[in-house]
Structure 1
Amino acid sequence: MLVEKANSKTRKPAIFDNLTTLELSKRYNAQLSSQKRTNSASANYLKHKTHRKLKMPRVFGLLELFVVAIQAKRLNLAMKHLACIQ
């Protein structure tokens, strides 16, 4: 983000001293990967000029949850199979 000075044509980096906590946390969240972002800073998005809508919460490691569930199911089936054999 660059800001132009009124007297000069050179661009200088914007100063973030006057940003609110919400704006700072949104900027920080934008730099993180999707799994590490927090929902509190960006829980709403602008649906229209005057209407805000809640975002769906991010689920950390959804793929890992599926893998663990499948492995647990396989382990459970193997234990049942062993119990039937004995």
Structure 2
Amino acid sequence: MYFNAEQLKEIEEMAYQLFTPFEIALALETEDQDEFIDDIGIPGTDVHRAFYKGYLRQLGELRADTIKAAKNGSNPAQIELIKCINNIQREVRHG
């Protein structure tokens, strides 16, 4: 599925705002929503890169805020960070 630069930027921004792939497909009025969603899952496609660029930018900001809250003594934030650390350690060991 082909998207121009403006559409890819819109996909990135909607992913940053945490819209689901289905919601993005609806907003873009794609003819084949299933194909759009499938393309997001294919590494190397423009739509995959645009979606994950926005999504990961948001995730990074949320994690930075969680780290800051944990350093300020927030117990829920500390628990969330421990989960993230455990997931990373598990992935690195079994990568």
If the TM-score is normalised by the length of the shorter chain, which range does it land in?
0.3 to 0.5
Higher relative contact order (CA 8 A, sep 6+): 2
Q: TM-score, normalised by structure 1?
A: 0.34
Q: TM-score, normalised by structure 2?
A: 0.32
Q: Which has the higher helix share?
A: 2
Q: Which has the higher strand share?
A: 1
